[in-house]
């Protein structure tokens, strides 16, 4: 019997699909995966048909208005993945499906050349592989069904070459490929490398594209013109057919987790996408996430390792500088006045590199001139009126909030005591740049942070200047820490390694280790002696420094995993963070109390929830952002399905929420701030 009704996932904040009827002439054209326009209240919205039914329910139903004939039918493997995303991350399925499609209509896409985002390059051939590369590649080539691989290769070991030769075989089988990299690593340099092998087969999707460019690139994949899609996490939502392999490079990167709206993790979602498409997936990193490493140790992923750089090049020589010792400053000639953050060994190494015409990079994961301005008379600081965070000083007098972009001018006198004793405290990339200009006035210096690099063209220009030798010293945040490969860069200085050590986050040590290792890996990739790295710190005995110095990833992972297991943190327990948000502190405290009571009632009422640990609620580490007050409740459980069930029951129908508040569930949270 022909079904009379259709289940449509509409682009609205609704947890499930809505039921619609269809006129006879439209009905025969409808099936699962077709995009339609439907009435919702007094407006028209887009939606995707998920199912058919003969059950009408008790409501008066409306007709499906039209079929979006331009948009492709979403295939079954992709739809199954979207349904998993909606359920696992507790997000409206219609809103996820809306992000599937390009921002503009297909009409007019010929107005700009299709390859405008792919740089002109000289074609290149496959490189000869090292023994380690070849062993890894051969294991990858023997698998055509779903199988996760963890490719653990030190910086400079040639993971990209393995990817490219794997892609060549995938295309030869008539299949397509998806390559995900963190947005921060999606540089023109990386696209050039792939374009030199697969010029006519590459499409690119990332946030720096214009809506028309993004639409062009999307359709080039859907129409089958391009077989390889390279992109940041949003490229996951392009419904590629005939997928033969997925590659997630730098899989450990926190930026693979989206923190707004749909709070998904692109690495984890990629694994499920590979499973629904029954194709292999390769996770690559020099410093794998502890979740992926444990999965490899447990046999869930197949581990492939490359422990040496190509051409037998040495890893960089790493020297730890204890900033608590001031002796090296005292020994400097009177003519040289070193700033408080710069040690004598690093200064001399910078001087030597300049004389020998090699390039240097200084890394500090803090923007601005100073972290805060403080009145030394009364102790007052300058805080953002919208967020519970100190304003950061940029330049000499520009105070900025890095959360909401609020800014004000630094006053000459304190607002509280009217004294003029205002001190600039802390360190940022802008101050480092100013000091380096003073010390090396003839050097060509550039800064790479969010203040200086506003878009794709700025980044392209920076990379071009580094490659052409127009920069002697590059100063930057994590923007320069990963993915970049400069032949003349032989010296890397980590200005203050301690920046991320003491954050209120159980992953703080892991992230510090990864960042130190990745930044160090930029040095000496094309010289036989491996280059030189200086790590300046007030905590030379910190585990992330001790283990990163000699690239002892496995020893670090073993130590950190033991601590995680004792506390039931990932990968041994699963987490769900409920953020409780509202525009008044009283209403958020009321919401926190109600949420805690609901959690307590659930645990007492259902014995199966005994393994679920409920921590909090308590104020978030940053209690106010953009005028919203924030509390949070953390759930821990060894069983993912049990935790998911608890989360759905805890949230319920949301009718119990106090006015002006909302609950934002974050499954597998990455940021605890």
Q: What is the pLDDT of residues 498-557, one digit of tens each?
A: 887 777 788 989 999 998 998 888 887 778 777 899 999 999 999 999 999 988 999 999
CA distance 10 to 96: 10
pLDDT at 1 over 70: no
CA distance 264 to 191: 25
- Say how far residue 50 (Cα) sits from the centre of its chain: 30
Higher-confidence residue: 454 or 357?
Answer: 357
pLDDT at 329 over 60: no
- Give a yes or no: residue 673 inside a domain: no
Q: Work out the widest C-alpha separation in the chain, in whole angstroms.
A: 94
CA distance 290 to 252: 8
Q: Are residues 79 and 21 in the same domain?
A: yes
Say which residues have a Cβ less than 8 Å from residue 606's Cβ, sequence separation at least 6: none
Stretch among 19-28, 112-121, 178-187, 483-492 having the lowest mean pLDDT: 112-121
Higher-confidence residue: 383 or 146?
Answer: 146
Q: Are residues 462 and 530 in the same domain?
A: yes
pLDDT at 593 over 90: yes
Residue that finishes a domain, picked among 50, 73, 98: 98
pLDDT at 609 over 90: yes
**Residue 639, domain extent:** 574-667
Query: Confidence class of residue 122 from pLDDT cuts 50, 70 and 90?
Result: confident
Q: Where are the beta strands (DSSP E) in 18-100?
A: 18-20, 35-40, 43-53, 66-67
Average pLDDT over residues 47-58: 87
| Closest to 480 in 3D by CA, of 463, 464, 468, 457 | 463
Asked if the bond preceding 617 is cis, omega within 30° of 0, the reply is: yes
| Ramachandran class of 139: left when φ > 0, alpha when ψ lies in -120 to 50, beta otherwise | alpha
Q: Are residues 385 and 511 in the same domain?
A: no
Q: What is the CATH number of the domain that holds 650?
A: 3.30.70.600
Q: Are residues 303 and 327 in the same domain?
A: no
pLDDT at 97 over 80: yes
Query: Confidence class of residue 457 from pLDDT cuts 50, 70 and 90?
Result: confident
In the prediction, which pLDDT does 522 show? Answer: 82
pLDDT at 111 over 60: no
User: 34: which strand partners?
Assistant: none
CA distance 612 to 615: 10
Average pLDDT, the chain: 90
CA distance 661 to 160: 47
Average pLDDT over residues 60-76: 93
In the prediction, which pLDDT does 534 show? Answer: 95
- Give a yes or no: residue 201 inside a domain: yes
Query: How many structural domains compose the chain?
Result: 5
Q: Are residues 358 and 465 in the same domain?
A: yes
Residue that finishes a domain, picked among 73, 98, 123: 98
In the prediction, which pLDDT does 225 show? Answer: 94
Q: What is the CATH number of the domain that holds 23?
A: 3.40.1440.60
| Closest to 654 in 3D by CA, of 575, 609, 595 | 595
In the prediction, which pLDDT does 102 show? Answer: 94
Distance set, CA 430 to CA 155, 427, 577 (Å): 28, 8, 35
Contact 29, 49 (CB under 8 A): no
User: What does the block give as tokens for 575?
Assistant: 């987490």
Instruction: Supply angle C-alpha 261, 266, 268, rounded to 5.
Output: 115
Q: Are residues 115 and 213 in the same domain?
A: yes
* Alpha-carbon dihedral 57, 60, 65, 71, rounded to 10 degrees: -30
In the prediction, which pLDDT does 116 show? Answer: 64
Helix residue spans in 374-492 (DSSP H): 429-439, 456-468
pLDDT digits 0-9 by tens, 381-424: 888 889 888 888 887 788 888 888 899 898 888 877 887 778 77
In the prediction, which pLDDT does 411 show? Answer: 87
In the prediction, which pLDDT does 661 show? Answer: 93
H or E element in which residue 414 lies: none
Average pLDDT over residues 160-175: 96
In the prediction, which pLDDT does 109 show? Answer: 53
Average pLDDT over residues 199-224: 92
Average pLDDT over residues 142-146: 96
Q: Are residues 149 and 268 in the same domain?
A: yes
CA distance 201 to 558: 41
CA distance 229 to 325: 51
CA distance 498 to 490: 23
- Give a yes or no: residue 103 inside a domain: no
Residue that finishes a domain, picked among 62, 78, 98: 98
How much is the CA Rg of the chain, to the nearest whole Å?
27
In the numeric block, the tokens 């690239």 are attached to 551
Q: What is the DSSP letter of 146?
A: S
- Give a yes or no: residue 269 inside a domain: yes
Helix (H, G, I), strand (E, B) or coil at 133: helix
Higher-confidence residue: 424 or 240?
Answer: 240
Q: Are residues 148 and 191 in the same domain?
A: yes
Average pLDDT over residues 631-659: 93
Helix (H, G, I), strand (E, B) or coil at 462: helix
Q: What is the CATH number of the domain that holds 551?
A: 3.40.50.300
Query: Side-chain half-sphere of 57: how many Cα atoms within 13 Å?
Result: 12
| Closest to 489 in 3D by CA, of 452, 435, 530, 517 | 530
| Closest to 363 in 3D by CA, of 517, 186, 549 | 517
Question: What does the DSSP assignment read for 31-54?
Answer: -TT-EEEEEETTEEEEEEEEEEES
Helix (H, G, I), strand (E, B) or coil at 253: coil
Average pLDDT over residues 446-459: 80
Contact 633, 577 (CB under 8 A): yes
- Give a yes or no: residue 495 inside a domain: yes
In the prediction, which pLDDT does 483 show? Answer: 63
Average pLDDT over residues 620-627: 90
- Give a yes or no: residue 362 inside a domain: yes
CA distance 629 to 661: 10
Q: Are residues 215 and 163 in the same domain?
A: yes
Q: Are residues 655 and 551 in the same domain?
A: no
Q: How many CB atoms lie within 10 A of CB 549?
A: 18
Give first-to-last CA distance, the chain, whole Å: 54
pLDDT digits 0-9 by tens, 490-503: 999 999 988 877 77
Say which residues have a Cβ less than 8 Å from residue 481's Cβ, sequence separation at least 6: 184, 363, 515, 518, 519, 522
Higher-confidence residue: 43 or 185?
Answer: 43
- Give a yes or no: residue 266 inside a domain: yes
Q: Are residues 633 and 579 in the same domain?
A: yes
| Ramachandran class of 159: left when φ > 0, alpha when ψ lies in -120 to 50, beta otherwise | alpha
Question: Which percentage of the chain shows pLDDT scores above 90?
Answer: 64
pLDDT at 331 over 70: no
- Give a yes or no: residue 672 inside a domain: no
Q: Are residues 624 and 660 in the same domain?
A: yes
């Amino acid at each position: 019997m022909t079904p009379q009704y259709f289940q449509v996932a509409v682009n609205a904040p609704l947890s499930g699909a809505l039921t619609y009827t269809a006129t006879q002439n439209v009905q025969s054209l409808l099936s699962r995966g077709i995009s339609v326009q439907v009435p919702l209240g007094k407006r028209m919205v887009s939606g995707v048909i998920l199912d058919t039914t003969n059950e009408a329910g008790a409501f008066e139903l409306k007709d499906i208005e039209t079929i979006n004939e331009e948009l492709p039918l979403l295939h079954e493997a992709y739809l199954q993945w979207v349904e998993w995303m909606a359920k696992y991350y507790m997000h409206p399925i219609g809103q996820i499906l809306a992000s599937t499609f390009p921002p503009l209509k297909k009409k007019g896409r010929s107005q700009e050349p299709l390859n405008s985002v792919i740089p002109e390059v000289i074609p290149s051939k496959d490189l000869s592989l090292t023994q380690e590369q070849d062993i890894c590649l051969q294991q990858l080539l023997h698998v055509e069904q779903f199988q996760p691989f963890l490719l653990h290769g030190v910086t400079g070991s040639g993971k990209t070459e393995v990817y490219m030769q794997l892609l060549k075989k995938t295309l030869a089988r008539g299949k397509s490929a998806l390559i995900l990299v963190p947005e921060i690593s999606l540089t023109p340099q990386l696209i050039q490398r792939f374009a030199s092998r697969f010029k006519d087969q590459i499409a690119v999707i990332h946030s720096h594209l214009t809506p028309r460019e993004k639409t062009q690139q999307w359709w080039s994949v859907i129409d089958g013109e391009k077989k390889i899609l390279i992109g940041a996490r949003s490229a996951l939502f392009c419904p590629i057919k005939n997928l033969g392999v997925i590659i997630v490079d730098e899989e450990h990167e926190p930026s693979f987790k989206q923190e707004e709206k749909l709070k998904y993790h692109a690495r984890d979602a990629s694994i499920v996408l590979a499973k629904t498409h029954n194709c292999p997936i390769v996770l690559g990193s020099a410093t794998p996430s502890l979740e992926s490493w444990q999965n490899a140790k447990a046999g869930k992923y197949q581990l492939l390792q490359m422990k040496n750089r190509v051409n037998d090049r040495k890893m960089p020589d790493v020297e730890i500088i204890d900033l608590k010792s001031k002796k090296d400053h005292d020994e400097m000639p009177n003519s040289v006045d070193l700033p408080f953050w710069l040690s004598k060994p690093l200064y001399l190494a910078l001087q030597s590199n300049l004389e020998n015409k090699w390039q240097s990079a200084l890394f500090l994961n803090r923007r601005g001139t100073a972290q805060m301005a403080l009145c030394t008379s009364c102790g007052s600081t300058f805080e953002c009126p919208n967020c519970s965070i100190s304003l950061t000083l940029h330049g000499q007098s520009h105070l900025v909030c890095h959360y909401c972009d609020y800014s004000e001018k630094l006053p000459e006198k304190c607002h509280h005591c009217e004294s003029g004793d205002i001190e600039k405290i802390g360190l940022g990339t802008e101050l480092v740049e100013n000091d380096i200009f003073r010390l090396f006035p003839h050097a060509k210096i550039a800064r790479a942070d969010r203040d200086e690099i506003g878009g794709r063209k700025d980044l392209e220009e920076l990379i071009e200047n580094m490659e052409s030798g127009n920069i002697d010293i590059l100063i930057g945040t994590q923007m320069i820490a990963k993915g970049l490969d400069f032949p003349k860069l032989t010296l890397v200085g980590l200005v203050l390694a301690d920046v991320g050590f003491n954050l209120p986050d159980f992953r703080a040590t892991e992230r510090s280790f990864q960042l130190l290792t990745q930044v160090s890996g930029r040095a000496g990739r094309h010289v036989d002696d491996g280059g030189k790295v200086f790590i300046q710190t007030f905590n030379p005995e910190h585990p992330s420094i001790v283990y990163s110095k000699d690239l002892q990833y496995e020893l670090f992972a073993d130590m950190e995993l033991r601590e995680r297991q004792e506390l039931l943190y990932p990968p041994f327990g699963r987490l769900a963070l409920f953020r409780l948000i509202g525009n008044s502190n009283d209403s958020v405290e009321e919401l926190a109390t109600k949420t805690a009571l609901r959690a307590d009632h659930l645990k007492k009422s259902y014995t199966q929830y005994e393994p679920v640990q409920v921590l909090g609620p308590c104020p978030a580490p940053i209690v106010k952002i953009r005028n919203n007050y924030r509390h949070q409740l953390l759930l821990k459980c060894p069983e993912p399905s049990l935790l998911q069930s608890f989360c759905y029951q805890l949230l319920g129908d949301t009718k119990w929420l106090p006015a002006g508040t909302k609950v934002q569930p974050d499954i597998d949270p990455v940021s605890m701030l």
